[in-house]
């Protein structure tokens, strides 16, 4: 993938998250994709491997924060198969508490599909809604 195509993929990835369209989002991922979530019990957070597990994890994010938005995105192409997207996640949890944190995704690409999404975000507690 050339740098212009990867830059477009990084933008589309963020736009797909903001659309809350799970099919659109998953169309960007390879069948053997891996998602390393920002939180979890392991050194890499929680790891989801394969299309079905990654889809379920992404669906869980949308369900837990139906109004989630990844705003202010800044995208950087690092190499032909690696890019970074920085963003500000804001949304309301089911208990009414608000999430408002900075974070980033390190995305590894093979061909025209994302094979690994490694997410990080600030550890700021939710605030009263």
Q: What is the pLDDT along the chain (129 residues), one digit of tens a residue?
A: 899 999 999 999 999 999 999 999 999 999 999 999 998 888 888 999 999 999 999 999 999 999 999 999 999 999 999 999 999 999 999 999 999 999 999 999 999 999 999 999 998 777 887
What is the rounded radius of gyration, in angstroms, for the C-alpha atoms of the chain? 14
Considering the domain 3-121, what is its CATH architecture? Roll (3.10)
CB atoms under 10 Å from CB of 128, counted, come to 6
Burial 18-27 (b: 16+ CB within 10 A, else e): eebeeeebbe
Kindly give the pairing relationship between strand 29-36 and strand 113-121: parallel
């Amino acid at each position: 993938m050339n740098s212009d195509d990867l830059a477009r993929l990084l933008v589309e990835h963020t736009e797909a998250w903001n659309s809350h369209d799970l099919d659109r989002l998953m169309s960007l991922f390879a069948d053997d994709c891996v998602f390393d979530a920002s939180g979890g019990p392991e050194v890499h957070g929680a790891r989801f491997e394969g299309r079905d597990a990654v889809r379920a994890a992404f669906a869980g994010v949308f369900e837990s924060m139906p109004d989630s938005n990844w705003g202010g995105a800044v995208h950087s192409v690092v190499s032909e198969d690696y890019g970074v997207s920085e963003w500000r996640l804001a949304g309301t949890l089911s208990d009414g508490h608000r999430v408002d944190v900075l974070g980033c995704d390190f995305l590894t690409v093979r061909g025209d599909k994302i094979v690994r999404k490694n997410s990080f975000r600030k550890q700021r507690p939710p605030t009263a809604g």
